[in-house]
């Protein structure tokens, strides 16, 4: 199985800060990576697919990059609405696997 | 608007069974694979199963293989997850989601609680 590791597990940042979340795969997944945002008490929502493709309607302050085994999700200017847990997911192989999540708190 | 609505969850004793359903609308259901993902209370997301568009292929997490069965009815725009031999560790919110790669959209989930 491909293991996905996110860091940090929790981060606290101020409104307007640039925030970066890292996701590492235990083996190469090319660019078969998605990012999801899950707000408290809600279902996950897709933010980015195939590493860097922003889903329609997602604010442009979100961006993704990487390839192979190392990937990043960046929020260019953190907003109060971005309070959520963020998950990466690989779809290079079965079983599909998720990172453990990164909880973003807004100071 | 694409929408997924799950149902069928509930409280069940260890060893029991349930059939979860996910009704789809707003897209051509028969053209897309469908996936089940679960989330135990306070925990992260765990992929459970995927079924291809025709139902010809199915995939399962090792933790549920042999106990869970995914199926679909393209005439009813519905995907199912039969969950048998339930264990305490199967307690979770079960989401269905569109797609076999990235998943979008997700339903609101149906809660399965395994407890005696």
pLDDT digits (tens, 9 = 90+) for A65-101: 999 999 999 999 999 999 999 999 999 999 999 999 9
Strand partners, A21: A73
Beta strands B110-114 and B10-12 are: parallel
Cβ atoms of B23 and B105 within 8 Å: the answer is no
Regions of chain B with pLDDT less than 50: none
Closest CA to B67 of B18, B7, B11: B18
Do the strands A102-106 and A10-13 form a parallel or antiparallel pair, or are they unpaired? parallel
- B46 contacts on A by Cβ (under 8 Å): 98
Residues in chain A: 107
Kindly report whether the peptide bond that precedes residue A95 is cis, defined as omega within 30 degrees of 0: yes
Mutate which: A43, A48, A51, vs B, most B CBs within 10 A: A43
**CA-to-CA dists, residue A81 to A37, A47, A85, A105, B56, angstroms:** 11, 14, 12, 10, 41
What pLDDT, on the 0 to 100 scale, is given for residue A107?
A: 86
Core vs surface per residue B64-83: b (16+ CB within 10 A) or e: beeebbbebeeeebbbbbeb
Backbone angles phi, psi at A81, to 5 degrees: -70, -10
Q: In the prediction, which pLDDT does A106 show?
A: 85
pLDDT digits (tens, 9 = 90+) for A4-15: 999 999 999 999
CA distance A49 to chain B (A): 6
Considering only alpha carbons, which residue of chain A is nearest residue B109? A43
- Residue A99's pLDDT is 98
Q: Tens digits of per-residue pLDDT, A13-71?
A: 999 999 999 999 999 999 999 999 999 999 999 999 999 999 999 999 999 999 999 99
Determine the residue of chain A that is closest to B108 in CA distance. A43
A34-55 in b/e form (b: 16+ CB < 10 A) is bbbbbeeeebbbbbbbebbebb
* The residue count for chain B: 116
Contact A95 B61 (CB under 8 A): yes
Query: What distance in Å separates residue A46's CA from the closest CA in chain B?
Result: 6
- Subunit contact B44:A46, Cβ cutoff 8 A: no
How crowded is residue A94: how many other Cβ atoms within 10 Å of its Cβ? Answer: 15
A84 Cβ partners below 8 Å, 6+ apart? A37, A38, A39, A40, A103, A104
Determine, for residues B59 and A36 on separate chains, whether the beta-carbon distance falls below 8 Å: no
CA distance B39 to chain A (A): 10
List chain B residues with CB under 8 Å of A41: none
Handedness of CA B70, B71, B72, B78 (dihedral sign): negative
């Amino acid at each position: 199985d491909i293991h996905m590791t996110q860091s940090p597990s929790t981060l606290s940042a101020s409104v307007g800060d640039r925030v970066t979340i890292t996701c590492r795969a235990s083996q190469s997944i090319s660019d078969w990576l998605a990012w999801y945002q899950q707000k408290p008490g809600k279902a996950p929502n897709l933010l980015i697919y195939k590493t860097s493709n922003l889903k329609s309607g997602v604010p442009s302050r979100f961006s993704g990059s990487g390839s192979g085994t190392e990937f990043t999700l960046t929020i260019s200017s953190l907003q109060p609405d971005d309070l959520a847990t963020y998950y990466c997911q690989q779809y290079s192989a079965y079983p599909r696997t998720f990172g453990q999540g990164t909880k973003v708190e807004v100071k | 608007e694409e929408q997924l609505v799950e149902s069928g969850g509930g409280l069940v004793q260890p060893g029991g069974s349930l059939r979860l359903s996910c009704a789809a609308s707003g897209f051509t259901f028969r053209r897309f694979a469908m996936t089940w993902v679960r989330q135990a209370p306070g925990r992260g997301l765990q992929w459970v199963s995927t079924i291809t568009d025709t139902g010809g292929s199915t995939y399962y997490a090792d933790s549920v293989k042999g106990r869970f069965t995914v199926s679909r009815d393209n005439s009813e725009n519905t995907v199912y997850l039969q969950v048998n031999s339930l264990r305490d560790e199967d307690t979770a919110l079960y989401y269905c989601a569109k797609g076999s790669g990235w998943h979008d959209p997700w339903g609101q989930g149906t809660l399965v609680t395994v407890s005696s």
